[in-house]
Structure 1
Amino acid sequence: MGATSNSVVQALFDRGGLKEMFDHARNAVVATIIVAAGLETADHVQPSLLVGMLNPLALGYVVAGVGCALIVLNFMDGLRKLTALRWRFAWQIALCIAYLFVSFRIVQVIVWSKTHAC
């Protein structure tokens, strides 16, 4: 048990794992904000505010699609880095589920806060 905890501490602090985690979390938050912005635009389009755009509804869905693509790329990068650590498969699955859950909840919170703003 001591060797495992020592290896985790080394991975986090000595080999830059903590910085990687924060970089990954930042990328995930930015991508989910892009998705939320696209969905918000698509749901609450006001043509008078977006003069000169051909189809603001379609543009909102394109932005949301780009955000989804960024989430998938960030997810794949995280999986690649997790497999390089050679952790147990169950731990990797748990982290994947947590990542998807947190990403979904961030989009929900951003959209909810936007719709309930005073």
Structure 2
Amino acid sequence: MQTPRASPLRSLFNRGGLKEVFEHARNAVVATIFVAAGLEASTREGNLGLFGLVDPRLAGYVVAGVGLLLILANFADGLRRLAKFRQHILLQIALSIAYFFVTLRVIQLVILFRTHPC
């Protein structure tokens, strides 16, 4: 006997999908702030006033690299979760493409707001 497929909205609200969406967005923003902070530290001239830090530019690049790894891990996790979404393959492809562009835009906006004064 076949079980009826759950609608996307039912999956979103009844199975904790909405909570996962917000957790994923939070993780993407936090990882992007790491990248923005690292890039900001690497572009500043002179000493940042951190005791014991030999090269602040190198530390900035390391922090930005860690943030980039976190972004990639979060993106891979999001794609894995979308792949487990049991809907039509065209819907999965459309959601994956939309997910990529939304994630990219959020990353760009957070870096822009973090590195440029208002």
- Provide the TM-score with structure 2 as the length reference: 0.77
- Structure 1 pair 104/89, CA: closer, same or farther in 2 (3 Å)? same
Counterpart position of 2:12? 12
Answer whether contact 2:38 2:61 (CA < 8 A) is retained.
Answer: yes
Q: How high is the sequence identity, in percent, across the aligned residues?
A: 53
- Comparing 73-82 with 99-108, greater Cα deviation is found at 99-108
Answer whether contact 2:47 2:56 (CA < 8 A) is retained.
Answer: yes
- Comparing 37-46 with 13-22, greater Cα deviation is found at 37-46
Answer whether contact 1:47 1:56 (CA < 8 A) is retained.
Answer: yes
Counterpart position of 2:44? 44
- Structure 1 pair 99/37, CA: closer, same or farther in 2 (3 Å)? farther
Q: How far off its partner does 1:8 sit? A: 1.2
- Structure 1 pair 28/62, CA: closer, same or farther in 2 (3 Å)? same
Q: How many residues align?
A: 115
Answer whether contact 1:38 1:63 (CA < 8 A) is retained.
Answer: yes
Amino acid at match of 2:19: K
Distance in 2 of aligned mates of 1:98 and 1:64: 25
RMSD: 2.5
Distance in 1 of aligned mates of 2:8 and 2:48: 55
Counterpart position of 2:80? 80
Q: How far off its partner does 1:28 sit? A: 0.4
Answer whether contact 2:27 2:74 (CA < 8 A) is retained.
Answer: yes
Counterpart position of 2:56? 56
Counterpart position of 1:25? 25
Answer whether contact 2:32 2:111 (CA < 8 A) is retained.
Answer: no
5+ residue gaps, structure 1, are none
5+ residue gaps, structure 2, are none
Higher helix share: 1
